[in-house]
Amino acid sequence: MVMVDRLIEIVDKTTVTAFLIREDNVFCEHGEFREPGLIENMAQTAAAGVGAKPGNSAGQAPLGFIGGIRNLIITGFPKVGQEIITRVTVMHEVFDATIVQGEVFLDDKLIAGCELKIFLIKN
């Protein structure tokens, strides 16, 4: 399942992506993109940033999994047909674990944010 449509920019340790909410998305319920989708979108934005780093094979995002979520705040849910913009900033990297701060925006308004601990699977 892909929760990122396009990479907008990567500057230093920050990655920004866009994602259009579609009706057939597994995380949509009653026309809204719900909590698991917002979290997965932040995680995939982090992976997109890693995949775009120089030296990464073919620019593909690595496989990984979410190892922890802290300070999750959600103040709104995007509706089908709306586009969200997600910004993820790497706070720390230790071995295979990366700690990021994620933020999801709808119409320039912050609607979700959290700290994620992500473990990447090395080939």
What does the pLDDT profile of the chain (123 residues) look like in tens digits? 899 999 999 999 999 999 999 999 999 999 999 999 999 999 999 988 876 655 555 556 667 889 999 999 999 999 999 999 999 999 999 888 899 999 999 999 999 999 999 987 766
Is 1 part of any domain?
no
CA 54/CA 35 separation, integer angstroms: 32
Is 104 part of any domain?
yes
- Residue pair 46/100 in contact (Cβ under 8 Å)? The answer is yes
How many distinct structural domains can be found in the chain? Answer: 1
What's the pTM value of the predicted model, to 2 decimals?
0.89
Is 58 part of any domain?
yes
- Look up the CATH number of the domain holding residue 108: 3.10.129.10
Domain carrying residue 13: 6-120
Q: At residue 55, what is the residue type?
A: G
List the structure tokens of 82: 């709306």
**Residue 103: its H or E element:** strand 97-106
